[in-house]
């Protein structure tokens, strides 16, 4: 424990340097804007900012991108509460009671509770991340290629299971993502696959054009067609102070949301979205007067907002401890540090402590920055929402072109972005979730390498995947999840996702 605090102190030495403070601050401001603007979620925001971090050190890049991520979680709540427009999917539940509070003249208090809850949850979950990641990494050092293959596979299946919608569609997207990730040079033989004779595709498809196309461009196409002017309610500063009763009612939901969000965040899936749905459901169930939910219950804001911020930190546990992304956002962040030559995995904490502990400390700093930034400056931030979308989306598209071109200095990446934008649009219209595709694409080279290494180790004996206990346990979990989904499909029972309303809303 003492060692942990000594390492954390070292992390603060790094994070409090003016340079890193500036990156954390910049990331938080951009993230808040990204979270508020419809059409730019945290994933598209992080992907677009990625080229801007190429000239930075890996620590600075990670600090800035993480700032964007949890800044977006904060920012998303502002538009949900004031305008009933979720800036990003994790804020959908906040709309219900947050906007009802605004209609009753308590919008300012709802914003304050959301910010305080997010701050407490963010801070508590960073403590969880700090305590959990190092021992997990130590355990994972013993993993061989068989365990890694099973871990990556189960991560993908859990993501497919946790996402809303049909499991078959999710597995199809995971398979498509794994295939897309195998385009280019074969990691073991150097053989070029599916490159259509182009040199650019020999290095594979880049994560940035794929993520920007699937998440950003497709969203812009959908939003640009239905763009309308919005009226913005601007709360006065004195309205931001919650009453004693509102604060008292929020203590329990913030505590429960923090723990729940962190735990759900560790599990692969769209954790920040799912955690807010689960937290809302739990608060409504625990409430003495559940009928208040929907008409301005402060617990309906405090619970989901705490949970989605805690989940944002929880998602970093498998990413930093195992080098395994739990969803598309950590996957893009892993890609960001890999661009700088940092090898993710269980050895990261031991070999590059400045990255891990600098990052952890910057998250504490980021949470303070967001609390100080979001409440007093909410009036300034929401002015951005007054810009009509028909002016905004051409600017966002310009940034997409710069961002995508700058990473690889290749126009082929712009074509890939366009194709992925079209695919993403069709997927949204037809009820397919893009997250398993992106995750599959990122882990494909790793999974192929570890699968073939495991077979090379065992002399071609496939039993290596079931005779090693950790690998067997992980595969058993994958089989159970697939069986559960098949049962749901066959019996047409409403599963937990439908009961939570994920089917309709995510």
Partner 1 sequence: VRGGLHDDQISGAALAIAGALVAAQSWQYPMGSLAEPGPGYLPFVLGLALAGFGALVAAAGARSPAFRWRHFGDGPKGLAILAGLGFAALALERLGYRITIAVLLVYYLGVIERRSWAMTLALTLIVSLGTYYVFAALLRVPLPIGLFRF
Q: Which of 140, 44, 64 is nearest to 362 (CA)?
A: 64
Q: Are 220 and 394 in contact (CB under 8 A)?
A: no
Least separation, in Å, of the C-beta of 199 and partner 1? Answer: 15
Place of tokens 């990003």: 88
Measured between alpha carbons, how far is 53 from 383 in angstroms, rounded to an integer?
27
How many other C-beta atoms are found inside a 10 Å radius of the C-beta of residue 5?
Answer: 10
Q: Across-strand partners of 185?
A: 192
Q: Which among 125-133, 148-156, 420-428, 470-478 is the span making contact with partner 1, rule CB under 8 A?
A: 420-428
**Which parts of 14-73 interact with partner 1 (CB under 8 A)?**
51-52, 54-55
User: Site residues for partner 1, window 352-411 (CB under 8 A)?
Assistant: 390-391, 393-395, 397-402, 405-406, 409, 411
Nearest to partner 1 of 175, 372 (CB atom) = 175
Residues 282-311 interacting with partner 1 (rule: CB under 8 A): none
Q: Which stretch binds partner 1 (CB under 8 A): 115-123, 173-181, 230-238, 271-279?
A: 173-181
> How many Å apart are CA 38 and CA 261, to the nearest integer?
24
Angle at 84 between CA 81 and CA 90, to 5 degrees: 75
Return the residue of 88, 147, 305, 448 that touches partner 1, per CB under 8 A: 448
H or E segment at 494?
none
Q: What share of the chain is helix, strand, coil (3-state, %, to 5)?
A: 75, 0, 20
Among the residue ranges 12-20, 229-237, 257-265, 456-464, the one whose residues contact partner 1 (CB under 8 A): 456-464
Q: Phi and psi of 182, rounded to 5°?
A: -95, 0
Cα distances (angstroms) measured from residue 320 to each of 65, 129, 245, 363, 473: 14, 9, 39, 14, 22
Q: Measure the CA–CA gap between 316 and 134, rounded to whole angstroms.
A: 12
Residue from 141, 188, 476, 483 binding partner 1 (CB under 8 A): 188
| C-alpha span between 270 and 40 (Å, rounded) | 16
Minimum CB separation of residue 380 from partner 1 in Å reads 20
Nearer of residues 173 and 474 to partner 1, judged by Cβ: 173
Strand partners, 184: 193
Scanning residues 135 to 154, which ones bind partner 1 (CB under 8 A)? none
The Cα–Cα gap between 46 and 49 comes to: 5
Q: Is 186 in the site for partner 1 (CB under 8 A)?
A: yes
Of 32-40, 123-131, 150-158, 187-195, the window that binds partner 1 (rule: CB under 8 A) is 187-195
The single residue among 112, 321, 370, 417 that binds partner 1, judged by CB under 8 A, is 417
Select from 141, 350, 456, 480 the one that contacts partner 1 (CB under 8 A): 456
Helices 167-181 and 435-457 pack at an angle, to 10 degrees, of 60
User: Which is closer to partner 1, CB of 136 or CB of 418?
Assistant: 418
Q: Is 228 in the site for partner 1 (CB under 8 A)?
A: no
CB of 194 to partner 1, least distance (A): 7
Residue choice 13, 17, 127, 193 for contact with partner 1 (CB under 8 A): 193
For residue 354 the two structure tokens come to 């400045």
The count of residues in the chain is 506
Residue 409: C-alpha distances to residues 210, 238, 404, 421, 442 (Å) = 15, 50, 8, 20, 20
Our CB check for partner 1 shows the closer of 189 and 291 to be 189
Q: Applying CB under 8 A, does 182 fall inside the site for partner 1?
A: yes
Q: How far apart are CA 140 and CA 55, in angstroms?
A: 31
Q: Is 21 exposed, middle or buried (0-12, 13-18, 19+ CB in 10 A)?
A: middle
Nearer residue to partner 1 within complex by CB, 195 or 234: 195
Stretch of 16-24, 121-129, 301-309, 451-459 contacting partner 1, by CB under 8 A: 451-459
Question: Minimum CB separation from partner 1 for residue 162, in Å?
Answer: 17
Using CB under 8 A, list all residues that contact partner 1.
51-52, 54-55, 166, 168-169, 171-172, 175-176, 178-179, 182, 186, 188-189, 191, 193-194, 217, 220-222, 224-226, 390-391, 393-395, 397-402, 405-406, 409, 411, 414-415, 417-418, 421-422, 425-426, 429-432, 448, 451-452, 455-456, 459-462, 489
């Amino acid at each position: 424990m003492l060692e942990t605090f000594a390492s954390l102190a070292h992390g603060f030495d790094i994070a409090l340097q003016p340079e890193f403070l500036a990156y954390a601050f910049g990331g938080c401001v951009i993230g808040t804007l990204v979270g508020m603007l419809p059409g730019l979620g945290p994933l598209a925001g992080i992907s677009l900012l990625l080229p801007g971090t190429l000239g930075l050190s890996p620590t600075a890049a990670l600090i800035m991108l993480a700032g964007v991520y949890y800044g977006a979680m904060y920012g998303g709540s502002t538009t949900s509460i004031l305008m009933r427009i979720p800036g990003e999917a994790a804020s959908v539940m906040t709309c219900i009671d947050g906007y009802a509070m605004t209609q009753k003249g308590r919008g300012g208090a709802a914003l304050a509770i959301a910010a305080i809850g997010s701050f407490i949850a963010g801070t508590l979950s960073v403590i969880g991340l700090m305590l959990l990641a190092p021992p997990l990494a130590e355990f994972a050092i013993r993993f061989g290629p068989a365990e890694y293959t099973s871990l990556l596979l189960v991560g993908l299946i859990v993501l497919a299971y946790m996402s809303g919608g049909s499991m078959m569609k999710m597995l199809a997207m995971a398979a498509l993502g794994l295939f897309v990730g195998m385009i280019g040079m074969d990691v073991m033989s150097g053989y070029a696959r599916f490159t259509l004779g182009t040199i650019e595709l020999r290095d594979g498809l880049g994560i940035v054009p794929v993520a920007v196309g699937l998440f950003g461009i497709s969203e812009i196409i959908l939003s640009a067609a239905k763009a309308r002017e919005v009226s913005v309610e601007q709360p006065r500063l004195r309205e931001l102070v919650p009453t004693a009763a509102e604060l008292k009612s929020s203590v329990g939901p913030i505590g429960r949301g923090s723990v729940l969000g962190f735990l759900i965040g560790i599990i692969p899936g769209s954790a920040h979205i799912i955690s807010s749905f689960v937290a809302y459901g739990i608060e409504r169930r625990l409430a003495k007067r559940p009928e208040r939910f929907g008409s301005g219950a402060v617990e309906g804001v405090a619970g989901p907002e705490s949970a989605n911020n805690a989940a944002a930190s929880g998602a970093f546990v498998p990413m930093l401890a195992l080098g395994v992304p739990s969803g598309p956002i950590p996957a893009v962040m892993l890609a960001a540090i890999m661009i700088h030559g940092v090898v993710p995995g269980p050895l990261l904490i031991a070999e590059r402590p400045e990255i891990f502990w600098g990052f952890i400390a910057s998250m504490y700093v980021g949470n303070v920055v967001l609390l100080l930034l979001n409440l007093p400056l909410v009036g300034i931030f929401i002015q951005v929402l007054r810009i009509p979308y028909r002016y905004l989306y051409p600017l966002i598209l310009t940034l997409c072109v710069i961002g995508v071109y700058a990473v690889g200095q290749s126009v082929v990446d712009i074509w890939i972005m366009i194709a992925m934008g079209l695919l993403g649009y069709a997927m949204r219209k037809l009820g397919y979730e893009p997250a398993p595709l992106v995750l599959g694409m990122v882990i494909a080279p790793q999974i192929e390498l570890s699968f073939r290494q495991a077979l090379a180790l065992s002399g071609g004996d496939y039993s290596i995947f079931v005779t090693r206990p950790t690998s067997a346990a992980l595969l058993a979990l994958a089989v159970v999840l697939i069986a559960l989904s098949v049962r749901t499909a066959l019996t047409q029972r409403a599963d937990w996702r439908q009961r939570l309303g994920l089917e309709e809303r995510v």
